[in-house]
Copies of this chain bind each other. A is one copy, B any other.
Amino acid sequence: MSGKPSRIDQAYTALKSAIIEQALRPGDKLPEDEVGQLFSMSRTLVRQVFSRLNAEGLIEIGGKRPATVAIPSLDDAVAAFEVRQALEREVITLVIKRWNPEHKAALEAHLAREIEAAKAGSAPMSIRLAGEFHTLLAEMSGNPLLSRFVSDVVSRCSVVLAVYGRPHSADCGVHEHRDIIDAIAAGDATSAWDLMRHHLGEVEARALIGSSEDSPRSLADMLSPYVEGGAGTKARPAKNRGRPRLQVVKENR
């Protein structure tokens, strides 16, 4: 479909997935050259990736400190959900206007994957799919700009859940997704709006107190599922140039 997933896009997608699935936790440091070695590209390219991630509020750069996974404040959290309400309301309006059977099929298929992930107990997959449901819906609006904004704000909300939410806080919204699909398919905008508002309110309400556990692993280990789609043996040279002790230090608070 898309011409070339130029390595910069690969790294962007990989980091984004890692953050959203909470393989990288808020506050974790992301040294430029280390990431560059993992994805086998130079610091300049890493900088571009970091720039995009920063624009979406996923990481924080600037100062002359190493880039860190963003730690949104409580104000940021409520702001993100406020904007999300407004955007997804418009999404519903447009999707109903342009509704067709293919949309329903795609949403049903996605919902099936969500249920499957929930049964398998795969928390990272559930978190990822819960967000992708909303971005998928946004793409059906036929408005690329709206889709981009929704993707942006959904990412921010994912980080908020990572900071303030309980673990496994995303796997109980599947039924709400089902109701939303049904309301949209019935063309009932008012019901769909209310359901969406309720749904997002539930998600927001789950953001209360976060349990922080310490699991000091290496950056390479955390990112191994995301680099080159496997154990990461292909892109990384077998002979690491004398740096066995690379390790991510968690922000102390």
Which B-chain residue is minimally distant from A89 (CB atoms)? B86
Taking a contact as CB atoms under 8 Å apart, the answer to whether B83 and A143 are in contact is yes
Taking a contact as CB atoms under 8 Å apart, the answer to whether A146 and B90 are in contact is no
**A-to-B contact residues, CB < 8 Å:** 48, 51, 55, 57, 75-76, 79-80, 82-83, 85-87, 89-90, 94, 143-146, 149, 153, 156
Taking a contact as CB atoms under 8 Å apart, the answer to whether B90 and A85 are in contact is yes
Which B-chain residue is minimally distant from A146 (CB atoms)? B83
Which B-chain residue is minimally distant from A147 (CB atoms)? B79
Taking a contact as CB atoms under 8 Å apart, the answer to whether B94 and A146 are in contact is no
Taking a contact as CB atoms under 8 Å apart, the answer to whether A82 and B55 are in contact is no
Q: Which of A76, A80, A145 has the most CB of B within 10 A?
A: A145
Q: Which chain B residues border A76 with CB–CB below 8 Å? A: 144-145
**Measured between C-beta atoms, what is the minimum distance from A213 to chain B in Å?**
29
Give complex CA distance A96, B124 in Å: 40
Taking a contact as CB atoms under 8 Å apart, the answer to whether B79 and A145 are in contact is yes
Give complex CA distance A79, B87 in Å: 13
Taking a contact as CB atoms under 8 Å apart, the answer to whether A145 and B51 are in contact is no
Taking a contact as CB atoms under 8 Å apart, the answer to whether A86 and B90 are in contact is yes
Which B-chain residue is minimally distant from A84 (CB atoms)? B145
**Measured between C-beta atoms, what is the minimum distance from A157 to chain B in Å?**
11
Q: Which chain B residues border A89 with CB–CB below 8 Å? A: 86
Give complex CA distance A94, B83 in Å: 11
Give complex CA distance A57, B149 in Å: 13
Q: Which chain B residues border A146 with CB–CB below 8 Å? A: 79, 82-83, 86
**Measured between C-beta atoms, what is the minimum distance from A90 to chain B in Å?**
4
CB < 8 Å neighbour of A83 from B48, B51, B80, B90: B90
Give complex CA distance A156, B146 in Å: 13
Taking a contact as CB atoms under 8 Å apart, the answer to whether B145 and A80 are in contact is yes
| With known contacts A89-B86, A90-B86, A79–B48 Cβ distance under 8 A | no
Q: Which chain B residues border A94 with CB–CB below 8 Å? A: 82
Taking a contact as CB atoms under 8 Å apart, the answer to whether A83 and B153 are in contact is no
